[in-house]
Copies of this chain bind each other. A is one copy, B any other.
Amino acid sequence: MNNFTYYNPTKIYFGRDTIKNIGREMRERGVKKALLVCGRQSIFSTGVYDQVSSSLIGWYVDFIRFSGVQPNPLLSKVEDGIRLARQEGVDAILAVGGGSVFDSAKVIAAGVEYEGPVWDLFTGQARIKSALPLFGVLTLSATGSEMNGSAVITKADEKKKWGIVSRHLYPRVSIIDPSVQAWLTKRDTVNGAVDILSHVFELYFDGSKSGELMQEYSEAIIRTVIKNIKILLENPADYEARAQMAWAATLALNNSNAAGRSGGDWATHDIEHSISAFYDVAHGAGLAVITPAWMCYVYREDLHTFARFAQKIFGINSGTVEEQAQEGIRQLREFFREIGAPLSLQDLGVEYQDLENMAENAVQARTLGRLKPLQRDDVLAIYQLAWDQQGLNKRECDSYD
């Protein structure tokens, strides 16, 4: 077990009818005026906006609305938010929405306190030294942003979808009412499930040799997602399933299943981010395509863990360790097929001739991943594996299925 520090000061309200607490929590922390960051539509049609604004008004917290944040949130939009926050003299940021809204709100909160261009915080030219206090009401469980210090933003002109992490970006309070997720589309629900799984995979398959308790936690999250997404595809309003999925999403990326391990692989995320930078593809959809291809390309680096995954998640106990590892990946792809996730880059509308540029863009002179460090050509090979549904049969996984 590696040394680690664990610190997660976000206070969570979880459950039905909990949104009403947001005004009191902000007021008690001295907030007078907040920038309410949100997306385009759903919070208005589902009544979430009304619940939030009633609570704020009831507790005398003034607020100004900043709407229109999109999936794969853009730097340009964040910059607009920073300008508005300064102009209005707000003393807190309130995210009301899903991961894109939370991530945008975080970068606005840090950007208001930084004098230079906010992108400096992504390039490493400057560090986040402070941020306005951040609060949130979550409407789509997927990214885990409600209880961590991470944010991912896209700089469209340079096709860069990059992330930052800072202890200043933890929300003070996040409210998760799973019942408001009953209205999510099937596609958003499925993409959310894939995103949760992907976070766990990044931590689970990082080549770390210690921390079995955390591996068990990760397996518990994976089983929970696989079980409950199937329930939700039958009945999107099943509260218990929504609640299990929502808490699984938070736990998947709040560091609670990472203690003493290596910090994650993250190559799959980097490889996916480059797709989203070229195409308007939902993060979860891209992950569903890249994950099996990445696994197929790297599993021989840690046969033991891939076989363990097959055993613990899919109950595969026969065959050699290598056969088990392969069967686990095949079953995962079957699961993605079953829940209607996309299975190839073709399904996402990606053009074959862009793969080289995407690989170049993903790597950007770095090496990706930890389990197997990946160069440009490795990433290209993974894109090619993911290109069509036959790719995985022909290449690295010769005996794949």
Q: Taking the nearest CB of chain B, how far is it from the CB of A255, in angstroms?
A: 10
**Residues A5 and B16 in contact, CB atoms below 8 Å apart:** no
Q: Are A14 and B3 in contact (CB under 8 A)?
A: yes
Say whether A247 contacts B260, CB under 8 Å: yes
Query: A1 to B245, alpha carbons, bound, how many Å?
Result: 11
**A1-35 to B contact mask, C-beta < 8 Å, 1/0:** 11111111111111111100000000000000000
- A399 near B: Cβ within 8 Å? no
Contact check, B210 vs A221: say whether CB atoms are below 8 A apart.
Answer: no
Decide: B220 and A14 in contact? CB cutoff 8 A. no
Q: How far is the CB of A154 from chain B (nearest CB, A)?
A: 31
Q: Does A301 contact B (CB under 8 A)?
A: no
Separation in Å of the A175 CB from the closest CB of chain B?
10
Q: Which of A246-261 contact B (CB under 8 A)?
A: 247-248, 251, 256, 259-260
Interface: A217 (CB within 8 A): yes
Partner of A14, one of B5, B15, B240, B248: B5
Q: Chain B residues near A334 (CB, 8 Å)?
A: none
Contact indicator per residue, chain A 252-285, by CB within 8 Å of chain B (1) or not (0): 0000100110000000000000000000000000
Are B1 and A6 in contact, with the CB atoms below 8 A?
no
Contact across chains for A8 and B8 when beta carbons are under 8 A apart: yes
Q: Does A224 make an interface contact (CB < 8 A)? A: yes
**A303–B239 CA distance with the chains assembled, in angstroms:** 25
A118 within 8 A of B: no
Q: Confirm or deny: A363 has a beta carbon within 8 angstroms of a beta carbon on chain B.
A: no
Measured between beta carbons, the chain B residues less than 8 angstroms from A88 are: none
A216 partner, pick from B9, B13, B213, B223, beta carbons under 8 A: B223
Q: Which of B11, B16, B213, B251 contacts A3 (CB 8 A)?
A: B16
Q: Is the CB of B15 within 8 A of A213?
A: no
Choose among A1, A219, A221, A243 the residue with the greatest number of B CB atoms under 10 Å from its CB.
A1
Known: A213-B220, A213-B221, A248-B213. A9 touches B12 (CB 8 A): no
Contact A210-B1, Cβ < 8 Å, known A6-B11, A9-B9? no
Cross-chain contact A259 with B244 (CB below 8 angstroms): no
**B8 touching A4, Cβ below 8 Å:** no
Report which of B14, B18, B178, B213 forms a contact with A259, defined as CB distance below 8 A: B14
Residue of B nearest to A220 (CB): B216
In the bound complex, residues from chain B placing their C-beta under 8 Å from that of A18 are: 3
Residue of B nearest to A5 (CB): B13
CB of A243 within 8 A of CB of B12, answer no
Contact yes or no, B1 A11, CB < 8 A: no
Closest to A242 in B: B1
A347 CB within 8 Å of chain B: no
Which residues on the B side are within 8 Å of A213 (C-beta)? 220-221, 224, 244, 247-248, 251
The 9 closest A-B pairs by CB, nearest first: A3-B15, A216-B220, A1-B243, A7-B11, A6-B12, A213-B224, A9-B9, A4-B14, A5-B13
**19 examples of A-B residue contacts, CB within 8 angstroms:** A1-B178, A1-B240, A4-B14, A4-B15, A5-B13, A6-B11, A6-B14, A7-B10, A8-B8, A14-B259, A14-B260, A210-B243, A211-B244, A213-B224, A216-B216, A216-B223, A216-B224, A219-B220, A247-B260
